[in-house]
């Protein structure tokens, strides 16, 4: 999953949102970060990693990846993560009583207020994330194009990721159906994870 989905799946607290986003920026053994981040942020990073594992192994997600043309096969996971954020943005009202704009505005505020604890890589791109409104931009094809263009430049090998939105246009109905079947299962998985964490805290 990509940024928007991970933030949505976080608990409604600044620390949980920060942790669930940091899963894309913090790698390695989490014990090393316990002196830097609060337990709730660490828990958010753990949830991010669990979500990625659940997603990567899920049959519906694998079906979505297989819809991507062979010439993008090496990048299929990245592509589907972005596509799923696109569908989440467009079907936001099905999953949240809070509007997408309001949710995103709050996320930007949380990140801006907590820059001192964010990794350097996130701090470097945060001004662009906010000024270019990356999280809402997933809603449009033009926004997806810009996202893929940015990611293409970040990859260290020659790639065709910048043109990957063609795969969304070509498979739109099928991929949308995949997402709408998959995402409620992911929400349920995260809710069960949260219940498990609570049980562990009270033991």
Instruction: Please write the tens of the pLDDT for every residue from 52-74.
Output: 999 999 999 999 999 999 999 88
Token match 């659940």: residue? 54
Average pLDDT, the chain: 94
Share of the chain above pLDDT 90, in %: 84
Q: Enumerate long-range contacts of 71-79, CB under 8 Å, 24 or more apart.
A: 71/160, 72/160, 72/161, 72/164, 72/167, 74/159, 75/159, 75/160, 75/161, 75/164, 78/151, 78/161, 79/148, 79/161, 79/164, 79/167
**190: pLDDT strictly greater than 90:** yes
**Both tokens of residue 73?**
């096969």
Q: In the predicted model, what is the mean pLDDT of residues 23-50?
A: 92
pLDDT digits (tens, 9 = 90+) for 86-131: 999 999 999 999 999 999 999 999 999 999 999 999 999 999 999 9
Contacts of 101 (CB under 8 A, 6+ apart): 136
Q: In the predicted model, what is the mean pLDDT of residues 174-196?
A: 93
Residue 112 in 3-state DSSP? Answer: helix
Q: Which residue has the higher pLDDT, 1 or 37?
A: 37
As a whole number of angstroms, the distance between CA 180 and CA 178 comes to 6
Backbone φ and ψ for 7, nearest 5 degrees, come out as: -70, -40
**CA-based nearest residue to 4, from 80, 141, 78, 100:** 100
H-run or E-run covering 43: helix 39-57
As a whole number of angstroms, the distance between CA 133 and CA 107 comes to 11
Task: Check: CB of residue 197 under 8 Å from CB of residue 19.
Answer: no
Helices (H) and strands (E) in the chain, counts: 12, 0
């Amino acid at each position: 999953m990509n940024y928007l989905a991970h933030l949505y799946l976080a608990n409604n607290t600044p620390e949980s949102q920060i942790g669930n986003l940091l899963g894309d920026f913090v790698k390695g053994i989490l014990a090393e970060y316990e002196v830097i981040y609060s337990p709730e942020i660490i828990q958010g990073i753990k949830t991010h990693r669990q979500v990625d594992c659940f997603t990567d192994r899920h049959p519906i997600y694998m079906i979505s990846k297989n819809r991507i043309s062979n010439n993008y096969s090496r990048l299929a996971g990245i592509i589907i993560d972005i596509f799923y954020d696109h569908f989440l943005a467009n079907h936001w009202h099905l999953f949240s009583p809070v509007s997408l704009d309001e949710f995103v505005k709050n996320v930007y505020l949380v990140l801006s207020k907590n820059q001192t604890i964010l990794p350097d890589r996130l701090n470097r791109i945060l001004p662009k994330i906010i000024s270019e409104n990356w999280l809402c931009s997933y809603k449009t094809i033009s926004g997806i194009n810009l996202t893929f263009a940015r990611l293409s430049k970040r990859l260290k090998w020659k790639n065709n990721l910048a043109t990957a939105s063609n795969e969304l246009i070509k498979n739109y109905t099928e991929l949308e159906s995949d997402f709408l079947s998959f995402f409620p299962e992911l929400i349920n998985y995260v809710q069960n994870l949260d219940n498990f964490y609570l049980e562990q805290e009270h033991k």
